[in-house]
Amino acid sequence: MKGKKERGEERKKWRENVADFFELPKDLLFNLPRLTLIGNIQLYLENYGGIIEYSEELLRLKVRGGEIIIRGKNLAIKNFFGEEIFIEGVIKSIEYQ
C-alpha cells in the first residue's frame, strides 16, 4: 500500500501534467504566489496567506510552502483584500524562503 507522501507526490505530478496539457498557469492550479514588481517602488502579490511581520523596513508574508520577505525603505501596505496585497515604498530586496 502506498504511503501518504507517495500519494501526495502522485497528485502533484498529475496536476502538473494537466496544467501542461491544457497550457494552464501553474500558479492557478497550485495556488502559488504570483508577484508583480514595478520598478523598485511597487509590488503586487497574489495568493498570499497573511502578514507575519510588518514595519517600514521589513515585510514578511506567508505563502504556500514558505514566506516572502521584502526589505526596503518606507514600505507601506496600500491595499489588501483576500489573497492579494499591494505594497509601495523603496524595495531593496525580495527573498523567497
What number is the average pLDDT over the span 85-92?
98
Q: What is the pLDDT of residue 66?
A: 93
User: Could you tell me the residue ranges of all domains in the chain?
Assistant: 1-30, 31-96
Please check whether residue 60 is in contact with residue 22, taking contact to mean a CB–CB distance below 8 angstroms: no
Give, in degrees to the nearest 5, the angle at Cα 23 between 35 and 82.
35
**What is the tens place of the pLDDT at every residue in 51-60?**
999 999 999 9
Q: What is the pLDDT of residue 84?
A: 95
Q: Please spell the DSSP secondary structure of 33-50, one letter per residue.
A: -EEEEETTTEEEEESEEE
Q: What does CATH list as the number for 31-96?
A: 2.60.40.2000
- Check whether 70 has a pLDDT greater than 70: yes
Q: What is the pLDDT of residue 25?
A: 59
**What is the tens place of the pLDDT at every residue in 12-41?**
677 677 667 766 655 555 678 999 999 999
Greater pLDDT, 28 or 65 = 65
